[in-house]
Amino acid sequence: MVDTYQTTTTKTAKVEIVKLKSPVRLVVYGGSRKAGDNSAFLHASKNVIKDYQNDLPIKSFFINNGSRSVISALANQEDNTIQSLDLFCHGDPDGLYYILGASLDKTITCEEVFQGKLAANIYKTVMMAIWRGYDFDGNQIKNQSAISSLRLSVFTIQSKIEIHGCNTGRGDDCFASELSLQLYKAAKKQSVVIGHATSANPNIDGTTKVTEQDYRHGTRIIYHKGKAVKTITSSGRISASIIREALGG
């Protein structure tokens, strides 16, 4: 989507057409072998979308092809257009965990994952992706990816990535930390990554209603330039003003 507007130069009075790339929000969910987990990711993503209140166009994707789904969702956007990315998936300090063939309707057994080598994850580094792909049951190198596989040029300078999954923000050398550093190196100087410092669950405020599921509670850490800049223990959406304050603005 490209918006246009007209401007008149002062020297020539010539009317020029300037193209503006409209910012968008991406919501990417799923990738688990368990249909129930994917359902929780779906409903949690809907509550995040509702909170955005249509302030920007939103594109939502289900992860059914492992890390490739995430990589292609980013690769298909124009540079400097993604204002926010919300990822709903399993994770830990080393990476994000997906399988090939994930479904909202059918659970895939651990045996099927191992025998079919269906694990297709995103790790902090290429070396970790190679090591995990070579050494762990159910993984193979060709299906493993790293942060370096993500096209970070698509993010705006002040973008936000929030990972709604377990432990991706735990520890100084975690996935969220590394992703925030790589965003900074990609010239996204005011961008942040938010990750959970503990195990995450969708039952916010103890809810048992599927439609109320939301991972935005517990301890979350805001990372910028590879460093933790703020710890959040309140529930719900982390506002832009909180992020600006964390960045010193």
Q: What is the pLDDT of residues 131-155, one digit of tens each?
A: 988 877 778 899 999 999 999 999 9
Stretch among 108-117, 190-199, 200-209 having the lowest mean pLDDT: 200-209
pLDDT at 22 over 60: yes
Contact yes or no for 165/90 (Cβ under 8 A): yes
Q: What H or E segment, with its residue span, contains residue 130?
A: helix 126-135
pLDDT at 164 over 70: yes
Question: What does pTM read for this prediction?
Answer: 0.89
What is the dihedral sign for C-alpha 123, 127, 129, 134?
A: negative
Contact yes or no for 19/77 (Cβ under 8 A): no
Other CB atoms within 10 A of residue 230 CB? 17
What SS3 class is residue 228?
strand
Stretch among 6-10, 16-20, 86-90, 125-129 having the lowest mean pLDDT: 6-10
Contact yes or no for 41/29 (Cβ under 8 A): yes
pLDDT at 248 over 60: yes
Cα–Cα dist 95/117, whole Å? 17
Predicted confidence at residue 211, as pLDDT, reads: 82
